[in-house]
Amino acid sequence: MVRSHAGSQTKSATAGWIVENLSTAILLFDSKLRLQLVNSAGENLLSASVKKMTGQRVDQIFGNNALPKALQHALDTGQVVTEWDLEIVSASHLTQCVDCTLTPCGNGQGDANVLVEMSNSDGLRRILRDEAALGQQNVLRTLVKEMAHEIKNPLGGIRGAAQLLECELASPAHKEYTRLIVDEVDRLRKLMDRMLVPNAAPRMTGVNIHEVLEHVCSLLEAGTDPALTIIRDYDPSLPDLLADRDYLIQAFLNIAQNAAQAVSYQGTVSFRTRAQRQCTIGLKRYRLVIRIDIIDDGPGVPAEIAEDIFYPMISGRSNGTGLGLSIARSLVHGHGGQIIYSSKPGETVFSVWLPVENGT
């Protein structure tokens, strides 16, 4: 009996470890549709802790969608129910589509429970889309660099000729034209330099993500209207990560500037950090990932560019270059991370996921 009891305990502990380390979200609801159990993947997917969710009804967690009805149907019929592309809103207000399998089961005491397996249906599509986009982006970046070199080479000669011409002109009115040429050449050179972003490997050192974000906030505050409100919502328990500080500053600054421009420098831009456990980025699994959300309350991403927003030369502004998010994405991918976003009028969230350690 002792051996059997010990074996049972070992088996139970092993099963618990397996459930906790699954990449699929596992949730267990009782007959009154109250949450009894959720694993780490479930906490990540719903952006809420097990302590906060345990004991809550399904409609309190997921709102008024098809899931409460599906759970009740599974309980009433005793049949497995599958829901595809079910839209849910997480505690961080991120809207996502999930696939669910609901399996009625007992708890060994005669009570009916429903086990829910839930996975982000956007995940595989995003992986495939990102892989395709990166391939296209690399080809496009090569083309852009070749074009930038071709444009940049004669700019020095044009600038020098304009300066020499300016020295020969006596009329201040005419000198204004040569000054305009010089200014436009300088503007083009800066644009070309931005297109020719270096491909050097990141110089990895220990980096505090909040120090990076505070630097970005200070740059944003110094260069924007005082009417812009910046909110910090940091998790102080986050560890340092191995990263290139300068690259991260540039990536987050590009995203934050987009957010500030989206609210015309008069709304609110929020910076939020959270820990995510047992996360998959691309095809790798990570025990711990830092998620950084940059949120604005602007009008949202225009529908016509929503699918192509990370491509170079794609911008929702008439005076935009469309390089900021493309560069940010390249820099984040260079750290093994990813950028995803959701957008609706009044709330756009760009989420950067950065692994703290090597994945498997």
Write the pLDDT tens digit of every residue in 116-129.
999 877 655 666 66
* CA atoms within 13 A of residue 312's CA, in its CB half-sphere: 20
In which element (H, E) is residue 98 found? Answer: strand 95-106
Asked if 20 and 58 sit in the same domain, the reply is yes
Q: Are 93 and 112 a contacting pair, CB within 8 Å?
A: no
Q: Are 289 and 296 a contacting pair, CB within 8 Å?
A: no
179-185 mean pLDDT: 85
Q: How many domains does the chain have?
A: 3
Which letter, b or e, does each residue of 114-145 get, where b requires 16 or more Cβ atoms within 10 Å of its Cβ? bbbbbbbbbbeeeeeebeebbeebeeebeebe
CATH number reported for the structural domain that contains residue 223 in this entry:
3.30.565.10
* CA atoms within 13 A of residue 347's CA, in its CB half-sphere: 8
- CB count in 10 Å sphere of residue 202: 16
Residue 348 bridge partners (DSSP): 296, 343
Asked if 209 and 186 sit in the same domain, the reply is no
Hey, what are 105's tokens? 């089961």
283 or 272: which carries more pLDDT confidence?
272
Beta strands 25-29 and 338-344 are unpaired
Q: Are 155 and 182 a contacting pair, CB within 8 Å?
A: no
CATH number reported for the structural domain that contains residue 101 in this entry:
3.30.450.20
Condensed to tens digits (0 to 9), the pLDDT of residues 297-317 reads: 999 988 888 777 887 666 655
Asked if 222 and 301 sit in the same domain, the reply is yes
Asked if 223 and 329 sit in the same domain, the reply is yes
Beta strands 95-106 and 205-207 are unpaired
Q: Are 34 and 56 a contacting pair, CB within 8 Å?
A: yes
Asked if 69 and 164 sit in the same domain, the reply is no
Asked if 191 and 208 sit in the same domain, the reply is no
Does residue 206 carry a pLDDT above 80?
A: yes
Give the per-residue pLDDT at 350.
95
d(CA 20, CA 326): 36
> Where is the domain boundary, 154, 179, 195?
195
Q: Are 244 and 357 a contacting pair, CB within 8 Å?
A: no
Q: Is 297 among the domain residues?
A: yes
- Tokens 């996921």 correspond to 353
pTM (two decimals): 0.59
Condensed to tens digits (0 to 9), the pLDDT of residues 308-356 reads: 788 766 665 555 556 788 888 888 988 999 998 888 899 999 999 999 9
Asked if 14 and 118 sit in the same domain, the reply is yes
Q: Is 189 among the domain residues?
A: yes
Asked if 19 and 91 sit in the same domain, the reply is yes
Q: Could you list the residue range(s) of the whole structural domain that residue 275 is in? A: 200-355
d(CA 186, CA 69): 62
Question: Lowest-confidence range among 195-209, 225-239, 270-284?
Answer: 195-209
Which letter, b or e, does each residue of 25-49 get, where b requires 16 or more Cβ atoms within 10 Å of its Cβ? bbbbbbeebbbebbbbbbbbbbbbe
Q: Is 129 among the domain residues?
A: no
Hey, what are 152's tokens? 């940049």
Give the per-residue pLDDT at 4.
40
5 or 228: which carries more pLDDT confidence?
228
Q: Is 266 among the domain residues?
A: yes
d(CA 55, CA 32): 10
Residue 355 bridge partners (DSSP): 289
> Where is the domain boundary, 195, 222, 237?
195
Give the per-residue pLDDT at 143.
61
d(CA 357, CA 360): 10
Q: Are 284 and 354 a contacting pair, CB within 8 Å?
A: no
> Where is the domain boundary, 93, 124, 155?
124
Which letter, b or e, does each residue of 149-174 get, where b requires 16 or more Cβ atoms within 10 Å of its Cβ? eeebeeeeeebeebeeebeeeeeeee
- CB count in 10 Å sphere of residue 1: 5
What are the C-alpha distances in Å from 188 to residues 134, 199, 257? 26, 21, 20
Q: Is 186 among the domain residues?
A: yes
Q: Is 340 among the domain residues?
A: yes
Asked if 102 and 219 sit in the same domain, the reply is no
Query: 57: which DSSP letter?
Result: B
d(CA 29, CA 116): 8
Asked if 217 and 174 sit in the same domain, the reply is no
Asked if 204 and 349 sit in the same domain, the reply is yes
- Tokens 């009570």 correspond to 111
Does residue 239 carry a pLDDT above 90?
A: yes
Q: Is 360 among the domain residues?
A: no
Q: Is 329 among the domain residues?
A: yes
Asked if 191 and 204 sit in the same domain, the reply is no
Q: Are 71 and 33 a contacting pair, CB within 8 Å?
A: yes
